[in-house]
Amino acid sequence: MRTLAVALALSVCAAAATTNTTAVTFNKQVLPIMQKRCQDCHRPGEVAPMSLLTYQDARPWAKAIRQAVLTKKMPPWFADPAYGHFSNDRTLSQAEIDTIISWVDGGAKEGDPKDAPAPRTFVEGWNIGKPDLVLQMPNAFHVPATGVIEYQYVILPTNLKEDKWILAAEVRPNRSVMHHVITSIREPGSKWMADMQPGVVFVPPKGSRAGQLDGGLSGYVPGQALPPAGSPRRATLLKAGSDIVFQLHYTPNGTPVDDQTKIGIIFAKEPPNERLMGGNSAAYRFAIPPGDSNFEVDGTSTVAYDSYLYSMMPHAHLRGKSFEYRIVRPDGTSETVLKVPHYDFHWQLTYYLEKPIFLPKGTKVEVTAHFDNSANNVNNPDPTKEIHWGEQTFEEMMMGYFSVVVDPKDAPADNGRRRQASVQSELPARLASAQ
């Protein structure tokens, strides 16, 4: 018996020693996860409310971090894993979740500083790295504390003397009052808003074409994540003498502030093998009945040339509930390429395919969205009203943005800006008669 007792005691000691040796610490096991999954947003000057660069930053938030990863609230990611694989998937693996929970449950220990990986390096004020060109509104726009502000526009000349290929771009607004920024390239000789003075913020005349921005470059929406590191083979053409046009949608937050939005651009070192272009399977005419918790809206567009589907970005306002993207090829075969069962207005993500999907000429990109206009929707401004398309957040939109890559020689000479020549929007008859 004594021998057995000694053996058991030794076993317990050995187990304890093993536990102590393998205890999860911030520096050894947790910081690498933070660097990979969290620090793009959780650092000074970025969208997250606190930094997670160091143990001293993270320790006060340990319990909140545990809850966020356990419930999968963070990192935000809404794609149904049954459809598509995405290169910017933020989802934590179960092993990563278990590691963070074990760290918190074990006392959130710091560990040996020697175990910590080298800190990530960031370019202050930019996620894409140091831009080759920065264009900023020359004068700040004053956003009042309250009220509804019409879409504002500003034209920024690039003053480029030669054609350039854009590898990456990033828009930086005052996030506290910005609902979105859409950018577009205005090529030399264009008559689009030709009477508007560059650098001056303005509201276009009623009935003008100003609203037809195509999102030719990076824009800004709440919770936006930038794409993975750009491929030197894939870029967007910026012709010499072009201008960049901002569409600015401000939403006052109760405090008067100023905004001076800027865009940073990184150029490719050589012409790419693939050209990046945009499309939109949108619906502009619909009527969401008061109290309807699952109203369906469809949009379709047809790709006018062989291309590869690269990314998708669903966009709605506060009543947006879900999105689904499907491709229907000319031979009749179809495939669901993205499902977002729980759309979140506060985290409008773009989903970048891990492997772009070939779209033969004539392929349809179909998008179905659902809207919750009921009192059960805590974000709903007014469930008693019938809702139509509109620019303000208390109205609604159904935008099925996507991007494709094409061979540069197959791309339209005008960058697809004649009502997006690359994608002909179609409005289903039943939606056209909805009003």
Token duo for residue 64: 């909140």
As a whole number of angstroms, the distance between CA 420 and CA 418 comes to 5
Hey, which residues does 155 pair with through a beta bridge?
245
CB atoms within 10 A of CB 134: 14
HSE-up of residue 228 (Cα within 13 Å, Cβ side): 17
The pLDDT, as a whole number, for residue 206 is: 64
DSSP state string for 133-150: EEEE-SSPEEEPSSS---
pTM for the model stands at: 0.75
CB atoms within 10 A of CB 117: 12
As a whole number of angstroms, the distance between CA 35 and CA 31 comes to 6
Q: Which helix (H) or strand (E) holds 99?
A: helix 94-105
> Domains in the chain, ordered, with CATH?
2-115 (no CATH), 125-272 (2.60.120), 273-435 (2.60.120.230)
Name, in order, each residue with C-beta under 8 angstroms of 110's C-beta and a sequence gap of 6 or more.
Answer: 25, 26, 27, 55, 59
The pLDDT, as a whole number, for residue 351 is: 93
Among residues 76, 55, 66, 64, the alpha carbon closest in space to that of 99 is found at 66
The SS3 assignment for 288 reads strand
As a whole number of angstroms, the distance between CA 215 and CA 217 comes to 5
Per-residue confidence in pLDDT tens, the chain, 435 aa: 444 444 444 444 444 433 344 689 999 999 999 998 898 889 887 778 889 999 999 999 999 999 999 998 899 899 999 999 998 888 999 999 999 999 999 999 999 999 999 998 877 778 888 999 999 999 999 999 999 898 899 999 999 999 998 888 899 999 888 888 988 899 998 888 888 889 999 987 665 554 444 446 778 877 666 666 555 556 788 999 999 999 998 989 899 999 999 999 999 888 777 777 888 999 999 999 999 999 999 999 999 889 999 999 999 999 999 999 999 999 999 999 999 999 998 888 889 999 999 999 999 999 999 999 999 999 999 999 999 998 788 999 999 999 898 866 565 554 444 333 333 333 333 333 333
- Chain centre distance of CA 126: 15
DSSP state string for 11-48: HHHHHHHHHHHT---IIIIIHHHHHHHTTTTSSTTSSS
Among residues 88, 84, 63, the alpha carbon closest in space to that of 75 is found at 88
